[in-house]
Amino acid sequence: MELNVKLEEKILGLIAEGIPGKFKKVKLTHETNLQKELGLDSIGMLALVFRFEEVFGIDIAQLGIEINIAKLRTVGDLLQAGQDILTEAESRVS
């Protein structure tokens, strides 16, 4: 699925915001590993999810959408998950 450019920018912005200082210089590509290259641990991943909800004004749990954080390993996985969640959220609201 083609990702909307603006959506991708927003999610990349959220990721950049959550990266610990010592990994700030790592270039974000779709293949960049969230844990090994960006130092995102479970707290970091949770922070990303909750910031995502805030920015897009949705409540993933309330909408009954399942998100398997453990399977999100790369920036590409996260972008795709973000797109899927928003598509799912739109379909449930409409």
Partner 1 sequence: MEERQQEDFEIIDCHCHIAAEEHTPRSFIEGSIANMTAALTAQGVPVTNRKLMTMFLSKMQDPLCDGLVAEMADAGIVKSILLIADFTYALKDCVLTIEESFHKHREVLARHPGKFEVFGGVDPRWGKDGLALFERSLTEFGFRGLKLYPPCGFSPSDRTLFPYYELCAHYHVPVLLHIGPTSPVLDFTFSSPFLLDEAARLFPSVNFILAHGAVSFVEECTMMCRFRPNVYLDISGFEATLGYDPSAGAIKAITSLGLNHKVLFGTDFPVFRLQGEQKSFVETLMAEDGPLSDLNEREKLLIFNRNAQRLVEKAVAVPA
User: Which residue, 53 or 88, has its beta carbon nearer to partner 1?
Assistant: 53
CB of 79 to partner 1, least distance (A): 18
If one asks whether residue 88 binds partner 1 (CB under 8 A), the answer comes out as no
- What is the dihedral sign for C-alpha 66, 88, 60, 75? positive
Length of the chain: 94
Name the token pair of 47. 């922070």
Residues 47-76 that bind partner 1 (CB under 8 A): 47, 50-51, 53-54, 61, 66, 69-71, 73
- What is the dihedral sign for C-alpha 50, 24, 7, 29? negative
Applying CB under 8 A, among 3, 7, 8, 37 the residue interacting with partner 1 is 37
Closest CA to 70 of 45, 37, 44: 45
User: Which residue, 5 or 43, has its beta carbon nearer to partner 1?
Assistant: 43
- Angle between helix 75-93 and helix 5-18 axes, rounded to 10 deg: 120
Which residues contribute to the site for partner 1 (CB under 8 A)? 20, 22, 35-37, 39-47, 50-51, 53-54, 61, 66, 69-71, 73
